[in-house]
Amino acid sequence: MSSAERLTEGRTPDDGARPPSRLRQLAAASVGNAVEWYDWYAYSFLAVYFAEQVFPADTGNSLVPLLSTFAVFAVGFFMRPVGGLLMGAVADRRGRRSALTVTILLMGAGSLLVAVTPTYAATGVLAPLVLVIARLVQGLSVGGEFAASTTFLVESAGPGRRGLFSSFQYVSTTLGQLLASGTAALLAAVLTEREMGQWGWRVAFLIGALLSLLGLWIRRGAQETRSSEQRAAERPGLFEALRRHPRQSLLICGITAGGTIAYYTWTTYLPTYAQVNAGFDKGDSLTVGTVSLAFFALLQPLGGMLSDRIGRKPLLLGFSLGFAVLAVPLLHLVTDAFLSLLLVQCAGMVLLTGYTSVAAAVNAEVFPARVRAAGIGFPYSLTVALFGGTAPYVGTWFKQAGHADLFPWYVAALCLVSFVVYLTLPETSRQKLET
Protein backbone atom coordinates (compact mmCIF):
# COMPACT_ATOMS: atom_id res chain seq x y z
CA MET A 1 0.00 0.00 0.00
CA SER A 2 1.33 3.46 -0.92
CA SER A 3 2.01 6.14 1.63
CA ALA A 4 -0.90 8.24 0.32
CA GLU A 5 -3.23 5.25 0.70
CA ARG A 6 -2.00 4.71 4.27
CA LEU A 7 -2.95 8.29 5.05
CA THR A 8 -6.32 7.83 3.41
CA GLU A 9 -6.93 4.89 5.70
CA GLY A 10 -6.35 7.20 8.67
CA ARG A 11 -2.66 6.62 9.46
CA THR A 12 0.01 9.26 9.28
CA PRO A 13 2.78 8.88 6.72
CA ASP A 14 5.39 10.08 9.21
CA ASP A 15 7.46 7.11 10.36
CA GLY A 16 4.94 5.26 12.46
CA ALA A 17 3.79 8.29 14.45
CA ARG A 18 0.28 8.36 15.90
CA PRO A 19 -2.59 8.84 13.43
CA PRO A 20 -3.35 12.49 12.69
CA SER A 21 -6.58 13.95 14.06
CA ARG A 22 -8.64 14.88 11.02
CA LEU A 23 -10.33 17.63 13.02
CA ARG A 24 -6.94 19.09 13.90
CA GLN A 25 -5.80 18.87 10.28
CA LEU A 26 -8.95 20.68 9.16
CA ALA A 27 -8.41 23.36 11.79
CA ALA A 28 -4.78 23.88 10.83
CA ALA A 29 -5.66 24.36 7.16
CA SER A 30 -8.95 26.18 7.65
CA VAL A 31 -8.12 28.68 10.39
CA GLY A 32 -4.89 29.71 8.73
CA ASN A 33 -6.60 29.93 5.35
CA ALA A 34 -9.39 32.09 6.82
CA VAL A 35 -6.82 34.52 8.19
CA GLU A 36 -5.03 34.61 4.84
CA TRP A 37 -8.21 35.50 3.00
CA TYR A 38 -9.37 38.02 5.58
CA ASP A 39 -6.19 39.97 4.85
CA TRP A 40 -6.66 39.59 1.10
CA TYR A 41 -10.31 40.57 0.91
CA ALA A 42 -10.21 43.47 3.35
CA TYR A 43 -8.63 45.40 0.49
CA SER A 44 -11.55 45.02 -1.90
CA PHE A 45 -14.22 45.75 0.72
CA LEU A 46 -12.48 48.94 1.88
CA ALA A 47 -11.26 50.19 -1.50
CA VAL A 48 -14.06 52.74 -1.78
CA TYR A 49 -12.87 54.35 1.47
CA PHE A 50 -9.12 54.62 0.95
CA ALA A 51 -8.95 55.12 -2.84
CA GLU A 52 -8.72 58.91 -2.64
CA GLN A 53 -6.27 58.73 0.29
CA VAL A 54 -3.68 56.81 -1.74
CA PHE A 55 -4.36 57.95 -5.32
CA PRO A 56 -4.82 61.51 -6.61
CA ALA A 57 -8.38 62.34 -7.56
CA ASP A 58 -9.16 63.42 -11.12
CA THR A 59 -11.52 66.35 -10.83
CA GLY A 60 -13.07 65.36 -14.14
CA ASN A 61 -13.88 61.76 -13.20
CA SER A 62 -14.58 60.49 -9.70
CA LEU A 63 -14.01 56.88 -10.80
CA VAL A 64 -10.27 57.40 -11.40
CA PRO A 65 -9.10 56.73 -7.79
CA LEU A 66 -11.35 53.65 -7.58
CA LEU A 67 -10.08 52.36 -10.92
CA SER A 68 -6.49 52.86 -9.72
CA THR A 69 -7.22 50.97 -6.50
CA PHE A 70 -8.73 48.05 -8.41
CA ALA A 71 -5.76 48.10 -10.77
CA VAL A 72 -3.50 47.49 -7.76
CA PHE A 73 -5.94 44.75 -6.71
CA ALA A 74 -5.32 43.14 -10.11
CA VAL A 75 -1.53 43.63 -9.81
CA GLY A 76 -1.58 41.59 -6.60
CA PHE A 77 -3.26 38.80 -8.53
CA PHE A 78 -0.44 38.69 -11.04
CA MET A 79 1.96 37.73 -8.25
CA ARG A 80 -0.24 34.74 -7.48
CA PRO A 81 1.17 32.53 -10.28
CA VAL A 82 4.66 33.23 -8.95
CA GLY A 83 3.50 32.36 -5.45
CA GLY A 84 1.74 29.24 -6.70
CA LEU A 85 4.90 28.10 -8.46
CA LEU A 86 7.40 28.96 -5.70
CA MET A 87 5.32 27.97 -2.67
CA GLY A 88 4.01 24.93 -4.54
CA ALA A 89 7.62 23.87 -5.09
CA VAL A 90 8.31 24.37 -1.37
CA ALA A 91 5.28 22.20 -0.56
CA ASP A 92 6.42 19.45 -2.96
CA ARG A 93 10.04 19.56 -1.81
CA ARG A 94 9.90 20.44 1.89
CA GLY A 95 6.37 19.44 2.79
CA ARG A 96 2.93 21.04 2.86
CA ARG A 97 3.26 22.34 6.42
CA SER A 98 6.46 24.26 5.66
CA ALA A 99 4.78 26.04 2.77
CA LEU A 100 1.73 26.88 4.88
CA THR A 101 3.99 28.48 7.49
CA VAL A 102 5.73 30.69 4.95
CA THR A 103 2.51 31.84 3.28
CA ILE A 104 0.84 33.06 6.46
CA LEU A 105 3.96 34.98 7.52
CA LEU A 106 4.03 36.75 4.15
CA MET A 107 0.35 37.60 4.34
CA GLY A 108 0.69 39.13 7.80
CA ALA A 109 3.61 41.27 6.65
CA GLY A 110 1.66 42.49 3.61
CA SER A 111 -1.38 43.39 5.70
CA LEU A 112 0.73 45.38 8.13
CA LEU A 113 2.30 47.27 5.22
CA VAL A 114 -1.16 48.21 3.87
CA ALA A 115 -2.14 49.46 7.34
CA VAL A 116 0.80 51.88 7.46
CA THR A 117 0.59 53.03 3.82
CA PRO A 118 1.01 56.84 3.78
CA THR A 119 -1.42 59.17 2.02
CA TYR A 120 -0.77 60.70 -1.39
CA ALA A 121 -1.16 64.16 0.10
CA ALA A 122 1.67 63.50 2.57
CA THR A 123 4.19 61.58 0.45
CA GLY A 124 3.11 61.82 -3.17
CA VAL A 125 3.99 58.85 -5.37
CA LEU A 126 5.43 56.92 -2.41
CA ALA A 127 1.87 56.17 -1.22
CA PRO A 128 0.74 54.08 -4.23
CA LEU A 129 4.24 52.53 -4.41
CA VAL A 130 3.98 51.21 -0.84
CA LEU A 131 0.48 49.89 -1.57
CA VAL A 132 1.69 48.09 -4.69
CA ILE A 133 4.56 46.44 -2.77
CA ALA A 134 2.16 45.32 -0.05
CA ARG A 135 -0.21 43.76 -2.59
CA LEU A 136 2.66 42.02 -4.38
CA VAL A 137 3.69 40.39 -1.09
CA GLN A 138 0.10 39.38 -0.39
CA GLY A 139 -0.29 38.05 -3.94
CA LEU A 140 2.80 35.89 -3.52
CA SER A 141 1.36 34.57 -0.27
CA VAL A 142 -2.15 33.82 -1.43
CA GLY A 143 -0.96 32.11 -4.62
CA GLY A 144 1.09 29.70 -2.55
CA GLU A 145 -1.68 29.30 0.02
CA PHE A 146 -4.13 27.74 -2.40
CA ALA A 147 -1.55 25.30 -3.74
CA ALA A 148 -0.40 24.17 -0.30
CA SER A 149 -3.73 24.14 1.53
CA THR A 150 -5.54 22.37 -1.33
CA THR A 151 -3.09 19.49 -1.34
CA PHE A 152 -2.94 19.41 2.46
CA LEU A 153 -6.74 19.20 2.83
CA VAL A 154 -7.32 16.56 0.17
CA GLU A 155 -4.39 14.41 1.30
CA SER A 156 -5.72 14.56 4.88
CA ALA A 157 -9.15 13.22 3.88
CA GLY A 158 -10.47 9.78 4.80
CA PRO A 159 -12.06 7.31 2.34
CA GLY A 160 -14.96 8.82 0.40
CA ARG A 161 -14.45 12.21 2.06
CA ARG A 162 -12.26 14.12 -0.39
CA GLY A 163 -15.21 16.21 -1.55
CA LEU A 164 -16.18 17.10 2.01
CA PHE A 165 -12.61 18.03 2.96
CA SER A 166 -12.27 19.90 -0.32
CA SER A 167 -15.25 22.08 0.57
CA PHE A 168 -13.44 23.46 3.60
CA GLN A 169 -11.08 25.29 1.25
CA TYR A 170 -13.93 27.64 0.44
CA VAL A 171 -15.58 27.36 3.86
CA SER A 172 -12.44 28.89 5.36
CA THR A 173 -11.94 31.26 2.43
CA THR A 174 -15.50 32.48 2.87
CA LEU A 175 -15.15 32.79 6.63
CA GLY A 176 -12.10 34.98 6.05
CA GLN A 177 -14.03 37.02 3.52
CA LEU A 178 -17.01 37.14 5.89
CA LEU A 179 -14.81 38.41 8.68
CA ALA A 180 -13.39 41.06 6.36
CA SER A 181 -16.85 42.08 5.17
CA GLY A 182 -18.24 42.09 8.71
CA THR A 183 -15.32 44.13 10.01
CA ALA A 184 -15.77 46.65 7.19
CA ALA A 185 -19.53 46.82 7.82
CA LEU A 186 -19.01 47.31 11.56
CA LEU A 187 -16.46 50.06 11.02
CA ALA A 188 -18.78 51.75 8.52
CA ALA A 189 -21.62 51.58 11.04
CA VAL A 190 -19.74 53.08 14.01
CA LEU A 191 -17.59 55.61 12.16
CA THR A 192 -18.56 58.51 9.95
CA GLU A 193 -17.76 58.49 6.24
CA ARG A 194 -14.99 61.03 6.91
CA GLU A 195 -13.46 58.94 9.71
CA MET A 196 -13.55 55.82 7.55
CA GLY A 197 -11.73 57.62 4.77
CA GLN A 198 -9.14 59.18 7.06
CA TRP A 199 -8.12 56.32 9.35
CA GLY A 200 -10.91 53.77 9.91
CA TRP A 201 -9.86 51.53 7.03
CA ARG A 202 -6.39 51.08 8.57
CA VAL A 203 -7.89 49.35 11.63
CA ALA A 204 -9.06 46.39 9.54
CA PHE A 205 -5.55 45.75 8.19
CA LEU A 206 -3.96 45.98 11.63
CA ILE A 207 -6.43 43.34 12.82
CA GLY A 208 -5.38 41.16 9.89
CA ALA A 209 -1.70 41.40 10.81
CA LEU A 210 -2.50 40.28 14.37
CA LEU A 211 -4.72 37.42 13.18
CA SER A 212 -1.84 36.11 11.05
CA LEU A 213 0.09 35.40 14.24
CA LEU A 214 -2.86 33.35 15.51
CA GLY A 215 -2.95 31.37 12.26
CA LEU A 216 0.78 30.72 12.48
CA TRP A 217 0.42 29.33 16.02
CA ILE A 218 -2.40 26.96 14.99
CA ARG A 219 -0.50 25.68 11.96
CA ARG A 220 2.48 24.71 14.08
CA GLY A 221 0.38 21.81 15.39
CA ALA A 222 -0.42 20.36 11.95
CA GLN A 223 1.02 17.03 10.82
CA GLU A 224 2.72 16.71 7.46
CA THR A 225 0.76 14.76 4.81
CA ARG A 226 3.81 13.74 2.76
CA SER A 227 5.70 10.69 3.96
CA SER A 228 9.35 10.84 4.96
CA GLU A 229 10.11 8.60 1.95
CA GLN A 230 8.48 11.10 -0.41
CA ARG A 231 10.35 14.02 1.13
CA ALA A 232 13.64 12.12 1.01
CA ALA A 233 13.21 11.18 -2.66
CA GLU A 234 14.71 13.22 -5.48
CA ARG A 235 13.06 16.61 -5.35
CA PRO A 236 11.03 17.75 -8.37
CA GLY A 237 12.31 20.60 -10.51
CA LEU A 238 10.60 23.98 -10.38
CA PHE A 239 8.87 23.49 -13.76
CA GLU A 240 8.57 19.70 -13.69
CA ALA A 241 4.77 19.72 -13.47
CA LEU A 242 4.52 21.94 -16.56
CA ARG A 243 7.08 19.91 -18.53
CA ARG A 244 5.77 16.45 -17.70
CA HIS A 245 2.06 17.21 -17.37
CA PRO A 246 1.19 19.94 -19.93
CA ARG A 247 -2.30 18.58 -20.61
CA GLN A 248 -3.16 18.54 -16.90
CA SER A 249 -1.86 22.10 -16.54
CA LEU A 250 -4.13 23.32 -19.35
CA LEU A 251 -7.00 21.39 -17.83
CA ILE A 252 -6.59 23.29 -14.55
CA CYS A 253 -6.89 26.56 -16.53
CA GLY A 254 -10.11 25.44 -18.19
CA ILE A 255 -11.58 24.17 -14.92
CA THR A 256 -10.82 27.47 -13.20
CA ALA A 257 -11.74 30.15 -15.80
CA GLY A 258 -15.51 30.19 -15.33
CA GLY A 259 -15.31 29.48 -11.62
CA THR A 260 -12.98 32.36 -10.84
CA ILE A 261 -14.87 35.05 -12.78
CA ALA A 262 -18.17 33.97 -11.21
CA TYR A 263 -16.62 33.74 -7.76
CA TYR A 264 -14.97 37.16 -7.74
CA THR A 265 -17.97 38.81 -9.36
CA TRP A 266 -20.47 37.45 -6.84
CA THR A 267 -18.42 37.43 -3.65
CA THR A 268 -16.15 40.46 -4.10
CA TYR A 269 -17.25 42.86 -6.84
CA LEU A 270 -21.06 42.68 -6.60
CA PRO A 271 -21.37 45.22 -3.73
CA THR A 272 -19.26 47.71 -5.71
CA TYR A 273 -21.16 46.82 -8.92
CA ALA A 274 -24.39 47.71 -7.13
CA GLN A 275 -22.94 50.99 -5.87
CA VAL A 276 -21.55 52.07 -9.25
CA ASN A 277 -24.40 50.86 -11.50
CA ALA A 278 -27.50 51.14 -9.31
CA GLY A 279 -26.58 53.82 -6.76
CA PHE A 280 -26.73 51.30 -3.90
CA ASP A 281 -25.76 52.60 -0.44
CA LYS A 282 -22.15 51.73 0.55
CA GLY A 283 -22.96 50.58 4.06
CA ASP A 284 -25.99 48.54 2.98
CA SER A 285 -24.00 46.82 0.24
CA LEU A 286 -21.46 45.62 2.83
CA THR A 287 -24.32 44.31 4.99
CA VAL A 288 -25.81 42.37 2.05
CA GLY A 289 -22.38 40.96 1.27
CA THR A 290 -21.94 39.79 4.85
CA VAL A 291 -25.33 38.03 5.00
CA SER A 292 -24.90 36.31 1.64
CA LEU A 293 -21.37 35.16 2.49
CA ALA A 294 -22.66 33.50 5.67
CA PHE A 295 -25.24 31.68 3.55
CA PHE A 296 -22.51 30.69 1.07
CA ALA A 297 -20.27 29.22 3.80
CA LEU A 298 -23.11 26.99 5.02
CA LEU A 299 -23.64 25.61 1.51
CA GLN A 300 -20.05 24.41 0.98
CA PRO A 301 -20.00 21.20 3.08
CA LEU A 302 -23.36 20.22 1.59
CA GLY A 303 -21.92 20.53 -1.90
CA GLY A 304 -18.79 18.61 -0.91
CA MET A 305 -20.77 15.73 0.61
CA LEU A 306 -23.06 15.64 -2.41
CA SER A 307 -20.04 15.32 -4.72
CA ASP A 308 -18.79 12.33 -2.69
CA ARG A 309 -22.14 10.68 -3.40
CA ILE A 310 -22.96 11.59 -7.00
CA GLY A 311 -19.57 12.75 -8.31
CA ARG A 312 -17.85 16.06 -9.07
CA LYS A 313 -18.95 16.38 -12.69
CA PRO A 314 -22.71 16.93 -12.18
CA LEU A 315 -22.02 19.82 -9.79
CA LEU A 316 -19.52 21.44 -12.16
CA LEU A 317 -21.89 21.16 -15.12
CA GLY A 318 -24.79 22.59 -13.11
CA PHE A 319 -22.67 25.54 -11.98
CA SER A 320 -21.28 26.47 -15.38
CA LEU A 321 -24.49 26.06 -17.37
CA GLY A 322 -26.45 27.91 -14.70
CA PHE A 323 -24.16 30.94 -14.87
CA ALA A 324 -23.93 30.85 -18.67
CA VAL A 325 -27.72 31.15 -18.83
CA LEU A 326 -28.51 33.26 -15.75
CA ALA A 327 -25.56 35.64 -15.22
CA VAL A 328 -27.01 38.32 -17.51
CA PRO A 329 -30.59 38.33 -16.16
CA LEU A 330 -29.39 38.13 -12.54
CA LEU A 331 -27.05 41.11 -12.81
CA HIS A 332 -29.74 43.10 -14.62
CA LEU A 333 -32.04 42.55 -11.63
CA VAL A 334 -29.73 44.52 -9.32
CA THR A 335 -31.38 47.80 -8.24
CA ASP A 336 -30.92 50.17 -5.32
CA ALA A 337 -33.36 48.08 -3.24
CA PHE A 338 -31.84 46.07 -0.39
CA LEU A 339 -33.87 42.92 -1.14
CA SER A 340 -32.96 42.87 -4.84
CA LEU A 341 -29.23 42.74 -4.18
CA LEU A 342 -29.64 40.17 -1.41
CA LEU A 343 -31.70 37.83 -3.63
CA VAL A 344 -29.36 38.19 -6.61
CA GLN A 345 -26.28 37.55 -4.50
CA CYS A 346 -27.77 34.50 -2.72
CA ALA A 347 -29.06 33.00 -5.99
CA GLY A 348 -25.59 33.26 -7.45
CA MET A 349 -24.10 31.67 -4.33
CA VAL A 350 -26.26 28.57 -4.80
CA LEU A 351 -25.04 28.12 -8.38
CA LEU A 352 -21.45 28.95 -7.43
CA THR A 353 -21.35 26.17 -4.82
CA GLY A 354 -21.29 23.64 -7.65
CA TYR A 355 -17.77 24.85 -8.38
CA THR A 356 -16.35 26.05 -5.08
CA SER A 357 -17.29 23.00 -3.00
CA VAL A 358 -15.37 20.61 -5.27
CA ALA A 359 -12.62 22.76 -6.82
CA ALA A 360 -9.87 21.65 -4.43
CA ALA A 361 -10.68 17.96 -4.88
CA VAL A 362 -10.94 18.21 -8.67
CA ASN A 363 -7.62 20.04 -8.92
CA ALA A 364 -5.81 17.66 -6.55
CA GLU A 365 -7.13 14.62 -8.40
CA VAL A 366 -5.49 15.83 -11.63
CA PHE A 367 -1.83 15.57 -10.50
CA PRO A 368 0.31 12.91 -8.75
CA ALA A 369 1.60 13.71 -5.24
CA ARG A 370 5.18 14.39 -6.36
CA VAL A 371 4.22 17.62 -8.19
CA ARG A 372 0.68 18.15 -6.93
CA ALA A 373 1.13 21.49 -5.15
CA ALA A 374 3.20 23.21 -7.85
CA GLY A 375 1.14 21.53 -10.58
CA ILE A 376 -2.04 23.07 -9.18
CA GLY A 377 -0.55 26.33 -7.97
CA PHE A 378 0.84 27.86 -11.15
CA PRO A 379 -1.94 27.26 -13.76
CA TYR A 380 -4.69 27.87 -11.19
CA SER A 381 -3.19 31.15 -9.97
CA LEU A 382 -2.43 32.31 -13.52
CA THR A 383 -6.04 31.77 -14.55
CA VAL A 384 -7.34 33.51 -11.43
CA ALA A 385 -5.02 36.44 -12.14
CA LEU A 386 -6.24 36.75 -15.74
CA PHE A 387 -9.96 36.48 -15.06
CA GLY A 388 -10.72 36.69 -11.33
CA GLY A 389 -8.33 39.42 -10.25
CA THR A 390 -9.31 41.66 -13.13
CA ALA A 391 -13.09 41.28 -12.62
CA PRO A 392 -13.54 44.43 -10.47
CA TYR A 393 -11.37 46.47 -12.81
CA VAL A 394 -13.08 45.17 -15.98
CA GLY A 395 -16.54 45.78 -14.51
CA THR A 396 -15.66 49.33 -13.44
CA TRP A 397 -13.97 50.00 -16.79
CA PHE A 398 -17.09 48.89 -18.69
CA LYS A 399 -19.09 51.35 -16.60
CA GLN A 400 -16.65 54.19 -17.26
CA ALA A 401 -16.71 53.43 -21.01
CA GLY A 402 -20.50 53.57 -21.02
CA HIS A 403 -21.00 49.83 -21.65
CA ALA A 404 -21.93 48.49 -18.22
CA ASP A 405 -24.33 45.97 -19.83
CA LEU A 406 -21.41 44.09 -21.42
CA PHE A 407 -19.92 42.89 -18.13
CA PRO A 408 -22.65 40.27 -17.41
CA TRP A 409 -22.11 38.83 -20.91
CA TYR A 410 -18.39 38.60 -20.20
CA VAL A 411 -19.11 36.51 -17.09
CA ALA A 412 -21.54 34.27 -18.98
CA ALA A 413 -19.08 33.65 -21.84
CA LEU A 414 -16.28 32.46 -19.54
CA CYS A 415 -18.67 30.13 -17.70
CA LEU A 416 -19.71 28.65 -21.04
CA VAL A 417 -16.04 27.96 -21.86
CA SER A 418 -15.65 26.05 -18.59
CA PHE A 419 -18.87 24.13 -19.28
CA VAL A 420 -17.29 22.72 -22.44
CA VAL A 421 -14.18 21.73 -20.45
CA TYR A 422 -16.26 20.02 -17.75
CA LEU A 423 -17.97 17.90 -20.41
CA THR A 424 -14.58 16.34 -21.23
CA LEU A 425 -13.57 15.58 -17.62
CA PRO A 426 -13.50 12.01 -16.34
CA GLU A 427 -15.29 11.36 -13.05
CA THR A 428 -12.61 10.99 -10.32
CA SER A 429 -14.62 10.90 -7.10
CA ARG A 430 -14.46 7.09 -6.84
CA GLN A 431 -10.80 6.77 -7.82
CA LYS A 432 -7.92 6.57 -5.32
CA LEU A 433 -5.79 9.67 -5.03
CA GLU A 434 -2.80 9.26 -7.37
CA THR A 435 0.61 9.04 -5.67
Residue 58 carries which DSSP code? B
| DSSP codes, 105-127 | HHHHHHHHHHHTPPPHHHHTTHH
Over residues 21-49, the pLDDT tens digits come to 777 788 888 887 888 889 888 887 787 78
- Residue 370's pLDDT is 84
Question: Sorting pLDDT into bands at 50, 70 and 90, what band is 228?
Answer: low
Maximum mean pLDDT: which of 235-249, 266-280, 329-343: 329-343
Q: Check: CB of residue 128 under 8 Å from CB of residue 71.
A: no
Over residues 361-400, the pLDDT tens digits come to 999 888 888 888 888 888 998 898 888 877 877 887 887 7
- Residue 193's pLDDT is 83
Domain ranges of the chain: 21-225+242-424
Over residues 155-213, the pLDDT tens digits come to 888 778 889 998 999 999 889 888 887 888 889 889 888 888 888 889 999 999 999 88
Is the confidence at residue 1, as pLDDT, over 50?
A: no
Per-chain mean pLDDT for the chain = 83
- Residue 398's pLDDT is 84
Over residues 276-324, the pLDDT tens digits come to 778 888 778 878 888 888 999 999 999 999 999 999 999 999 999 999 9
Is the confidence at residue 123, as pLDDT, over 70?
A: yes
Share of the chain above pLDDT 70, in %: 89
- Domain 21-225+242-424, what fold? Growth Hormone; Chain: A; (1.20.1250)
DSSP alpha helix (H) spans, 311-386: 312-332, 338-356, 359-364, 372-383
Which residue from 176, 123, 115, 127 is spatially nearest to 149, judged by alpha carbons?
A: 176
Cα(94)–Cα(116) distance, integer angstroms? 33
Cα(393)–Cα(386) distance, integer angstroms? 11
Cα(378)–Cα(144) distance, integer angstroms? 9
Q: What share of the chain is helix, strand, coil (3-state, %, to 5)?
A: 80, 0, 20
